[in-house]
Amino acid sequence: MLCGGVGGARFCSGVVSVADEVTIVGNVGDDVEVLGLHVSPDLDSVVYALAGLNDEERGWGRAGETWEALATVSALGGEDWFMLGDRDLGLHLVRTRALRAGEPLSAVTQRIARALGVSATLLPATDDSLRTWLDTPAGSFPFQEWFVARRHQDEVDAVRVVGDSRPAPGVLDAIGSADAILIAPSNPYVSIGPILAVPGIREALAARTVPCVAVSPLIGGRAVKGPADRMLARLAGGTTPVHVASCYDGLIDALVFDEADVEHVDGLGVRAVVTKTLMRDDAAKRALAEAALDVAGAHA
Amino acid sequence: MLCGGVGGARFCSGVVSVADEVTIVGNVGDDVEVLGLHVSPDLDSVVYALAGLNDEERGWGRAGETWEALATVSALGGEDWFMLGDRDLGLHLVRTRALRAGEPLSAVTQRIARALGVSATLLPATDDSLRTWLDTPAGSFPFQEWFVARRHQDEVDAVRVVGDSRPAPGVLDAIGSADAILIAPSNPYVSIGPILAVPGIREALAARTVPCVAVSPLIGGRAVKGPADRMLARLAGGTTPVHVASCYDGLIDALVFDEADVEHVDGLGVRAVVTKTLMRDDAAKRALAEAALDVAGAHA
């Protein structure tokens, strides 16, 4: 499964609840250095969701989070624009130290996931430095500056993924040996796109011999959260399943999308799977995962 | 004033409550890199005490401290031997980032102190890397490994201060222009000794033209907390005021010590000032500071 942030992470927990031997390839294009710490928001969203540590209400970060360290940072005039909770900080400290000691991101990610009881394999798309930049009318910004500091208010003219990268160990093997491939309901441009931008990954998907099924992140043409709808409208020309599928041209065999979008499927070009896609609870996550796995032929 | 950790920090707050224009030169020999963060325990004890943020009951760290980040670190199998609270962590993050960006320790320390409302000037003895090592029958250890990880159970055969260092900007000026010099009731070997080991500082004290007054950290020959008494017994041959004064040979004009030690002053060699030295509350801190400043001739 290819997966981005929070919405994708919720879908991951559904998939893991109904499938064995799940390997998740996560986005690192929105990784950011904050206060000298290497933060991997998308990988952490997946880890927290799979470990049952995520805050379902707030939608990101850890449940029961506290903010004492950041309060000190603010009092000292430090870098406090990125919300780092105390529990979350512990992970960033461990990861950053490991990276500085030379451990690859894929190794430390897997070690962290295991330590928190996650049985699925979680791989960053790459161990190399890859950064998503947004070109907007107000200028070009790294992902988190656009997303958090500027609250993704700037319209996006183009998404650029910057950095020489190779797939992390295990990524191409996972794609090549999968019984089925899923693309989580994540933002095609800033969550899935940076994964596909790692040389070799898009090619591996295009050369697949098993079904690849994407789940649309839009419901009724609207994002549940975040800027996916605005980006699709501007960059793909619309927010229907057809526009979502166009982001994955040649890479998918089916698109799972919501009942609310059923009237907009002319020219989809791939198999249409219509179901309820709002993951309001565990049962809904599970049902959506089953729908995707069913069409992929990978469900028991 | 020359000052080490917690006991010294309590004395500092007494001095600051009765004197103007106080400059504190703090020990950095027990600084330590933990989880990739630069921790300066003695400087922080002074800052927290002067800012009124210190935990009086526990005796170190911040009041109302929480430990969520460290709990995550532990869960992930990370470095958790050194107790870093969440509030405390915020300071270490800000300091470490500033140091990595090239800001000298003296500048970031003063910036932190000001941000927390501290009016006294706090200077590290040096901006350079200086580390206190303890030679023990079990081997040689950096200070915090001996003190925290091994709970200072190993007897100390020798204290070595390692690293090329120069006094931080302002330190020699402060000593040279002072109306009076105080040495806080800190461990002479591992708190004050590393300050004196910075080339130029001992010489500046020896060349003083104003009184220098030390306050003994022992009461009845015993340390209030920590290993000062065991170290004095082993390295100086005893725990009386005479033994304490011998640690500052040629550097002090008077020693303030507790009533409980009044029978052991033969051969003290400097002026004896007998008073109550246990700083059980603010009034006691203030009284001890006044006693030291009175004999130094610096008290209004």
Gap between the Cα atoms of B262 and A63, Å rounded: 58
Residues contacting A193, CB < 8 A, separation 6+: A29, A132, A159, A161, A187, A247
Is residue A281 one of the residues assigned to a domain? Answer: yes
Averaged pLDDT, A6-14: 94
B145 touches chain A (CB under 8 A): no
Residues spanned by the domain of A127: 2-295
Establish if A14 belongs to a structural domain: yes
The whole-number average pLDDT for the span B193-213 is: 98
Q: Helix A68-75 crosses helix B86-100 at what angle (to 10 degrees)?
A: 50
What residue type is assigned to position A43 of the chain? L
Q: What is the pLDDT of residue A233?
A: 97
pLDDT reading at A14 higher than 90: yes
| pLDDT bucket at B299, cuts 50 / 70 / 90 | low
Closest to A167 in 3D by CA, of A27, A18, A10: A27
Structure tokens at A46: 């997946």
Under 8 Å CB-to-CB from B292, ≥6 apart: which residues? B15, B182, B213, B215, B256, B273
Closest Cα partner for A193 from A172, A211, A214, A179?
A214
Chain B interface includes A37 (CB < 8 A): yes
Query: pLDDT for A191-236, tens place per residue?
Result: 999 999 999 999 999 999 999 999 999 999 999 989 999 999 999 9
The reply to whether B164 falls in a domain is: yes
At B5 the pLDDT is: 85
**pLDDT of A298 above 80:** no
Q: Which of residues 60-99 of B touch A (CB under 8 A)?
A: 65-66, 68-73, 75-79, 85-91, 93-94, 96-97
Residue found by looking up tokens 């981005």 in the block: A4
Question: Do residues A11 and A3 make contact, with C-beta atoms less than 8 angstroms apart?
Answer: yes
pLDDT, mean over chain B: 96
Task: Tell me what the mean pLDDT of segment B194-213 comes to.
Answer: 98
Q: Is the per-residue pLDDT at A163 higher than 90?
A: yes
Work out the burial of residue A265: count CB atoms within 10 Å of its CB; fewer than 13 is exposed, 13-18 middle, 19 or more buried. middle
User: Has residue A300 been placed in a domain?
Assistant: no
Reported as a single tens digit per residue, the pLDDT across A231-289 is 999 999 999 999 999 999 999 999 999 999 999 889 999 999 999 999 999 999 999 99
Question: What's the confidence (pLDDT) of residue A277?
Answer: 96
Summarised one tens digit per residue, pLDDT across range B106-151 is 999 999 999 999 999 999 999 999 999 999 999 999 999 999 999 9
Instruction: Confirm whether B221 is domain-assigned.
Output: yes
∠ at Cα A175 (A173, A177), nearest 5°? Answer: 65
Say what the pLDDT of residue A167 is: 98
The CA–CA distances, whole Å, from A196 to A53, A64, A215, B95, B196 equal 28, 34, 16, 38, 59
Threshold 0.90, pTM exceeds: yes
**For residue A95, what is the nearest residue in chain B, using CA coordinates?**
B78
Residue B249 above 70 pLDDT?
Answer: yes
| A8 pLDDT more than 80 | yes
pLDDT at B280: 92
Is the CB of residue A155 less than 8 Å from the CB of residue A136?
Answer: yes
If pLDDT is split at 50, 70 and 90, which confidence band does B300 have? very low
pLDDT at position B109 is: 98
pLDDT band at A180 (very low <50, low <70, confident <90, very high): very high
pLDDT band (50, 70, 90) for residue A300? very low
Domain membership flag for residue B34: yes
Query: With contacts defined as CB-CB under 8 Å, which chain A residues touch B68?
Result: 65-66, 68, 85-87, 89-90
pLDDT average, residue stretch B150-167? 96
Kindly list the residues from chain B whose CB atom is less than 8 angstroms away from the CB atom of residue A117: none
CATH of the domain at A147: 3.40.50.10680
Strands A158-162 and A131-136: antiparallel
- CA A85, chain centre distance (Å): 20
A229 found inside a domain = yes
At A185 the pLDDT is: 97
CA distance A285 to A17: 9
Residues A110 and A242: their CA atoms lie apart, in Å, by 35
Q: How many domains does chain A have?
A: 1
- In a domain? residue A174: yes
Q: Does residue A165 carry a pLDDT above 90?
A: yes
pLDDT at residue A297 above 60?
A: yes
Residue A16: predicted pLDDT: 97
Least confident of A87-91, A274-278, B165-169, B293-297: B293-297
Q: Which amino acid is at B117?
A: G
Distances (CA, A) of B161 to A199, B42, B158, B276: 52, 16, 10, 32
Give B75's contacts in chain A (Cβ within 8 Å): 90, 115-116
Mean pLDDT, chain A, whole residue set: 96
The two structure tokens encoding residue B165:
């260092």
For position A57, what pLDDT does the model report? 87
**CB within 8 Å: B90 and A96:** no
pLDDT of residue A30: 96
Q: What share of chain B is helix, strand, coil (3-state, %, to 5)?
A: 40, 20, 40
Residue A299 is predicted with a pLDDT of: 60
Predicted local distance difference test score (pLDDT) of residue A5: 86
Mutate to test the interface with A, among B38, B68, B99 (most CBs of A within 10 A): B68
3-state secondary structure chain A: CEECCHHHHHHHHHHHHHCCCCEEEECCCCCEEECCEEECHHHHHHHHHHHCCECCCCCCCECCCCCHHHHHHHHCCCCCCCCCCHHHHHHHHHHHHHHHCCCCHHHHHHHHHHHCCCCCEEEECECCCCEEEEEECCEEEEHHHHHHHCCCCCCCCEEEEECCCCECCCHHHHHHHCCCEEECCCCHHHHHHHHHCCCCHHHHHHCCCCCEEEECCEECCEECCCCHHHHHHHHCCCCCHHHHHHCCCCCCCEEEEEHHHCCCCCCCCCEEEEECCCCCCHHHHHHHHHHHHHHCCCCC
**Tens-place pLDDT, residues A107-117:** 999 999 999 99
For an interface test with A, the pick among B55, B74, B76 (most A C-beta atoms closer than 10 Å) comes out as B76
E strand or H helix that includes residue B3 = strand B2-3
